[in-house]
Structure 1
Amino acid sequence: MLKVLLVDDEPYVFEGLRIMVDWEKYGFSICGEASNGEDALEIIRTCNPHLVVTDIKMPVMDGIQLIKTVYEDSNIRAKFIVISGYDEFEYAKNAMKYGVNSYILKPLDEDELNQAIEKVSRQILEERKDEESRNRQLSFVAESAINSILKGEATESDIKRANFILELDENEEIKMLLLEIDNFDKWMSEFDEVQLKEIREKIKKIINSSMNNKFDLKVFEDDLNRFCILVSKSMDIYDTICGYAKNLKEMIEEKLDCSASIAISEPVAGIKSLAELYKQVDLAISYKFFKNIGSIIFYKNIKNMSMNHNLLEIDIDGLKDCIRENDTEGIKRKIKNLFHDFSKDLTAPELIKIYIENLELEFIRYVQEMKGNVQEFTNKLMDFNKKIEKSTIEELKKEATDLCMFLGQYIESITTSNSKDIIAEMKQYIKKNYNKDINLKIIGKHLYVNPVYIGRKFKQVTGMQFNEYLHQVRIEEAKKLLRRTNMKISDVARSVGYSSTEYFTSKFKSFTNFSPSEFKNDFLVSLHKY
């Protein structure tokens, strides 16, 4: 909607202008009224209307003075329609000298007034189209030149062209701001390409508005969710760049209901150093990982820091044990300590995500060994992986905690459902193979289950260690052979799985309180009694 200001020292004129003109029909809304040129000038400087309808003869500052002042101020866009009770050539001549669109005499003719307003409306809209077209062309040329400089491919003519379009002196001091929309991936999943383009246009308009729409060519898109802003020494916001960044961030967050982070470079001399500025803000914005989203990060505060890309010696085995045992407090404690080390050592986010991915892979294998539903398990893990793509270290810690809690609960659920079946299969295997050299590793391989897991589960279900149970089965079978056959003790030992007669004798006595020969003799004596 175009804005119009009405200026006259006679109140009835305002009423007439409201009644005689259907302002909305011509795309206008009345933004204010003033009874003298001085008040009108103040409103013009505040509202920057597209059209001013003004009288000539007014107190304090007359219409000609008002028009002249506005004409000489390049920051004001207003066009003028003069309404006057003075049919004098000199007034009209002075008005037209300053670009007045129409000079209408009082009493006002409704048709003449409407025709003048319609003409101004068309002119403004045509100029707006021309300006938008020109700005698009300049923006394309500016971005092409900037991209050439960023890639290190710029020629001297590219640099001169960029300086000219961006209105920069050759060695003028400049800084760069990089604005990044946090969690943009959420918008990517919710909106289509057209809607995302509209959102990016809104962001650019907010940025341009924050600079009073005077420096729109100094704003360029770096990525779907990133916008670079060049701030030169001649701009008012240069020396208050921190306050400007804070205000811009608040405007973006308020109008788009999102979070934004901003990185600010150090100054360099001349646009030829643009690539250096970009490296600074690109590095600085990556450190928001160690801060809260919505941060303002100065390159000068992080330039002496260095992210750690080396693998750390971390207690990942302890965390795995807590997960297998579904120890929630242990999981929280281990994750807290783990991320404290990550933060202290400035561990690179991609490295932290590798640790998490390796943990997931290990538990995928673990679920497979436990005969769980691997497809269902991996589908659930995908939901977690989406959440950790773009996070701060605090968000990642929370997601990692949730992930490990989920792993613990999932492992416990399938453990509960299949542990009895697995123990039954183990007992069956032992019963058939007790006379062979068997152990948990061999049984685990046979059942496709982790040997540590089945060893722990066997103890929980049966109340005894696997080896103790194996000895018990072997001794029971040995007792049968001793009762029913005349086999030598050494042959009995080998028949039930012992290669050493001495070791067999020791184990037999620990279970029965008799040596094998004593047991056999005692059985024979008992038999003769009957």
Structure 2
Amino acid sequence: MLYKVLIVEDEVFMREGLKNLIDWKELGFEIVGEAEDGISAFEFMKKMQVDVLISDIKIPLLSGLDLIERVKKEIKNPPEVIIISGYADFEYAKKAIQHGVVNYILKPIEEEELVDTLLKVKSKLKKRELIKEGENLLALERSFKESIENSNIKIENGIFVGIVYFKEMSNWLNFYLDERIENMLLTIKGGFEQLKKEGLMYEFSEIGDKYYVVAASEENIQEAYQKLKKMIDFATEIVFAFSREITKWAQFFDAIYEAAYSLNFALFYNQMGITFYSSSLPNSKELLYSKEYDKRLILAIEENSQDIQKIVEEMMEDIRKGKYQLEFLMTYLSFVVVSISSYFSRMGLNLEDEIEYFSSLRLEFSNIEDIQKNLLKFCEGILNKFRQWRTSLSNGIICELEKYIKENYNKNLTLKSVAQRFYMNPVYLGQLFKKHYGMYFNTYLQKVRVEEAKKLLMSTNMKIYEISQAVGYNDTDYFIQCFTKICNMTPNQFRKKYRKV
């Protein structure tokens, strides 16, 4: 869910600049309205509930401070307020603080300050939701008992608590006129009344865009769903999300939780129709780990591959097929992010921003498309940093590599072992050698070893097999073969020709 924002500013270019300054949706907000004076802003808030009001102080008809005061007094559930102004006047700031604004930002607005302020607003809105949720639960329990007592249902015989959700509801509220919305809501209400008359389902509370209901059997739920779809023909996407069966009053809050979880699960997987709560995980939960998506993404990032999107899409398809419980999915997602972050952090990349960004979103994903979009963005962010790191590394690492090879040429060096030593991908290291030296790693290593062998042949009486071992070759025949290929003569021929007297 995105928090709704109203911007009040009389200068058009300032409004446009504010809208484009940051990625609002990424932070969990959406701009639902604009106003150029205080009266228009107030009228807008009378028609639409907004969560955040961002207003200049100096606006026509009704000043920013007067607008705030009026909103606090006359608007139900008033929004959190951010004041902006070009006037660095302490008196304005003091009055704004007295009105309970979250922050007072001076023009020109800095991106970082706006983002920090919105994060504070988000925290306050979440706390407000928790308080409201507690109040709603108590009200739900009262309604639930009344509904049961006024029906023919006996709780001891077993009942199901559920939530009926019309997925298009938020679009209706945003885009249709008041009269049409009122008719829609009356039609929905009439649908529930009909179900009640037929003894199929009892609505006991309505909160926001969710209808809390009670049914006595799974058969009744199935029949109620089909009939409601016909009666509410303008709703194409309806979710019936239900708890497990309960037989005691004391189980009510657990049932509400289960119904809410079932709804979240259905919306996450874009699953319309009827869903019941299940506490079990699919048996295939190890499938995700066995696919090693973290390692595949690491490799794709290292190789600057276009496969990142393909791998993420494949992972999402496995998740869709598995229908994993959300807690497990969040745990697995954390594992993937930590695995990728740890690997690249060991190289020296600073990934604090990427990790913090993903962590702040992790528990707010509303559906699988959100995960796909943000995981892709996370990987692409690391890819960009890795490219920059690799470019700077390429400019300075050649000297380090040369030094390391010349100090360790007599050991069992391989492209893979050197790559691990420098936290590099072997494929990339091979490419780096080819680009810089015009030859592959093994060819370069052979040349270094042969050069060292030439020195020993000219300055010592060591036998050929001893020189072979001294420069890193355990196989003397192979050493002779490499030496002859590079020098066009055998080690003995070289010694006879160039041996120092």
Give the TM-score, by structure 2 length: 0.51
Q: Percent identity over the alignment?
A: 24
1:506 to 1:245, Cα distance in 2 relative to 1, 3 A: same
**Residue 167 in 1 paired to residue 157 in 2?**
no
Partner of 2:163 in structure 1? 178
Task: Identify which of 355, 358, 368 aligns with 2:335.
Answer: 358
- The offset of 1:403, in angstroms, is 2.6
Q: Once the two structures are superposed, what CA deviation does each residue of 1:437-462 show, in whole Å capped at 9, x if it has no partner? A: 44456645654656676455444543
Partner of 1:367 in structure 2? 344
CA contact (8 A) 1:477 1:496 kept: yes
Partner of 2:85 in structure 1? none
**Residue 397 in 1 paired to residue 372 in 2?**
yes
Gaps of 5+ in 2: 1-134, 168-183, 197-201
Task: Identify which of 389, 411, 417 aligns with 2:386.
Answer: 411
Query: Which stretch of structure 1 is more off in the superposition, 274-283 or 471-480?
Result: 274-283
Partner of 2:322 in structure 1? 345
1:180 to 1:379, Cα distance in 2 relative to 1, 3 A: farther
1:401 to 1:448, Cα distance in 2 relative to 1, 3 A: closer
Q: Once the two structures are superposed, what CA deviation does each residue of 1:154-193 show, in whole Å capped at 9, x if it has no partner? A: xxxxxxxx358853345389764426799xxxxxxxxxxx
- 1:500 and 1:436 mapped to 2: Cα distance? 13
Instruction: State the AA in 2 paired with 1:362.
Output: S
Partner of 1:481 in structure 2? 456
- The offset of 1:355, in angstroms, is 4.1
Partner of 1:509 in structure 2? 484
Q: Once the two structures are superposed, what CA deviation does each residue of 1:12-63 show, in whole Å capped at 9, x if it has no partner? A: xxxxxxxxxxxxxxxxxxxxxxxxxxxxxxxxxxxxxxxxxxxxxxxxxxxx
Instruction: State the AA in 2 paired with 1:341.
Output: D
> Which secondary structure state, in structure 1, belongs to the residue aligned with residue 444 of structure 2?
helix
Task: Identify which of 223, 228, 239 aligns with 2:212.
Answer: 228
- 1:270 and 1:163 mapped to 2: Cα distance? 16
Query: Which stretch of structure 1 is more off in the superposition, 445-454 or 480-489?
Result: 445-454
Partner of 1:218 in structure 2? 204
- The offset of 1:521, in angstroms, is 2.2
Partner of 1:80 in structure 2? none
CA contact (8 A) 1:471 1:507 kept: yes
CA contact (8 A) 2:160 2:242 kept: yes
1:405 to 1:248, Cα distance in 2 relative to 1, 3 A: farther
Instruction: State the AA in 2 paired with 1:321.
Output: L
CA contact (8 A) 2:203 2:211 kept: no
Task: Identify which of 284, 292, 300 aligns with 1:322.
Answer: 300
Partner of 2:262 in structure 1? 284
Gaps of 5+ in 1: 1-136, 147-161, 183-205, 252-259
> Which secondary structure state, in structure 1, belongs to the residue aligned with residue 377 of structure 2?
helix
- The offset of 1:279, in angstroms, is 7.3
Over the aligned positions, Cα root-mean-square deviation in angstroms equals 5.1
Q: Once the two structures are superposed, what CA deviation does each residue of 1:257-287 show, in whole Å capped at 9, x if it has no partner? A: xxx9843449989886975965763453243
- 1:428 and 1:248 mapped to 2: Cα distance? 76
Q: Write out aligned runs for 1:257-336 (5 A).
A: 262-265=239-242, 275=252, 278=256, 281-282=259-260, 284-289=262-267, 291-292=269-270, 296-299=272-275, 307=282, 310-312=285-287, 313-314=290-291, 316=293, 317-328=295-306, 330-336=307-313
Task: Give the number of equivalent residue pairs.
Answer: 332
CA contact (8 A) 2:204 2:213 kept: yes
- 1:139 and 1:521 mapped to 2: Cα distance? 96
**Residue 421 in 1 paired to residue 396 in 2?**
yes
> Which secondary structure state, in structure 1, belongs to the residue aligned with residue 163 of structure 2?
strand
> Which secondary structure state, in structure 1, belongs to the residue aligned with residue 240 of structure 2?
strand
- 1:250 and 1:442 mapped to 2: Cα distance? 65
CA contact (8 A) 2:187 2:232 kept: no
1:486 to 1:280, Cα distance in 2 relative to 1, 3 A: closer
- The offset of 1:471, in angstroms, is 1.6
- 2:282 and 2:160 mapped to 1: Cα distance? 24
Kindly name which structure, 1 or 2, has the bigger radius of gyration based on alpha carbons.
1
- The offset of 1:477, in angstroms, is 1.8
1:268 to 1:479, Cα distance in 2 relative to 1, 3 A: closer
Give the TM-score, by structure 1 length: 0.49
Partner of 1:523 in structure 2? 498
- 2:136 and 2:315 mapped to 1: Cα distance? 51
- The offset of 1:465, in angstroms, is 3.4
Q: Write out aligned runs for 1:236-251 (5 A).
A: none
> Which secondary structure state, in structure 2, belongs to the residue aligned with residue 481 of structure 1?
helix
Q: Once the two structures are superposed, what CA deviation does each residue of 1:106-133 show, in whole Å capped at 9, x if it has no partner? A: xxxxxxxxxxxxxxxxxxxxxxxxxxxx
Instruction: State the AA in 2 paired with 1:333.
Output: K
